[in-house]
Amino acid sequence: MLTKYGTDNIIVMLIIGGILIFSPIIVSHKYLGIVLFTVGLLLILFTFWFFRDPERKVPEEARIDKSLVLSPADGKVVEIVEEDENFYLKSKARRISIFLSPLDVHVNRVPATGEIEFYDYNPGKYLVAYHPKSSELNEQSRIGLKTPYGKIFFKQIVGILARRLVCELKVGDKVNAGDKFGMMKFGSRMDVMVPLSAEVLVKVGDKVKACETIISKLK
């Protein structure tokens, strides 16, 4: 299944891919035609791969225990640090940063059940997503979620290749853990910030999956 968040990109990329595949019909140069056909085929395959939206189920443990925080994105944990969070938590917090390569699923999901209390969009810059400063400077959506067990702050951050974020969340929305809420396109990063009292259940280098990997427990 393909995600609805990439419909415009999917249409354009498939059209371009289709034109390239059929270009050997009008291109007289044999080897150029082969190259164009190959590029078109790879573009179509990449489109179906990048915009895939696989089914996911919230772990039974997280269904029972609402204090557990799920990963909102697929990718690799690249950093776990303590820092000040001044937008929503307004206190010191622990940041868990997840880097998404272009090969990861890019559909994002809500990390816990609760209510959206804060939303802010920053046009920002386009540093590579794994750059430490990308968390502060890059284009990003900042989201504050209040749960029965405390507050969570998370950010969609796009990288050097990405030029668009999709986020359907708005202040006042009631959400459930695992709900789809948007995507980041073509390589990006997701930061999740939890109170210092929360237990972090992943480590740097771990691979995580949106909706399926438990990354923290609120206290």
Tens digit of each residue's pLDDT (9 = 90 or more) over 79-122: 999 999 999 999 999 999 999 988 899 999 999 999 999 999 98
Task: For residue 188, indicate whether it is catalytic.
Answer: yes
What is the predicted pLDDT for the residue at 24?
Answer: 85
Q: What is the pTM of this model?
A: 0.87
pLDDT at 61: 96
Taking the CB of residue 116, how many other CB atoms lie within 10 A of it?
18
| 135 C-beta neighbours (distance < 10 Å), count | 20
pLDDT of 47: 94
β-bridge partners, 114: 175
Mean pLDDT of the residues in the chain: 91
- What number of other Cβ atoms are within 10 A of residue 55's Cβ? 6
- pLDDT for the residue 136: 67
10-39 average pLDDT score: 91
Q: What percent of the chain has pLDDT over 70?
A: 91
**Buried residues in 145-154 as b, exposed as e (16+ CB within 10 A):** bebebbbbbb
User: Who contacts 33 (Cβ-Cβ below 8 Å, separation ≥6)?
Assistant: 23, 24, 27
Residue 134 confidence (pLDDT) above 70: no
Domain ranges of the chain: 4-50, 60-217
> What pLDDT, on the 0 to 100 scale, is given for residue 115?
98
pLDDT in tens, 138-169: 788 999 999 999 999 999 998 666 567 899 99
Look-up of token digits 């090969």: 103
pLDDT at residue 123, rounded to an integer: 82
The pLDDT tens digits for 165-183 are 899 999 999 999 999 999 9
| Per annotation, catalytic residue among 71, 97, 135, 188 | 188
Give the pLDDT of residue 79: 94
DSSP 8-state assignment for residue 43: H
Query: Do 189 and 97 meet the contact criterion of CB atoms below 8 Å apart?
Result: yes
Q: What is the DSSP letter of 179?
A: -
Q: Where are the beta strands (DSSP E) in the chain?
A: 68-70, 75-85, 91-100, 107-109, 114-122, 140-147, 150-158, 165-167, 174-175, 180-184, 188-195, 199-200, 207-208, 214-217
Mean local confidence (pLDDT), 122-130: 66
pLDDT in tens, 30-82: 889 899 999 999 999 999 999 999 999 999 999 999 999 999 999 999 999 99
Domain 60-217 class in CATH? mainly beta
Radius of gyration of the chain from its Cα atoms, rounded to whole angstroms: 19
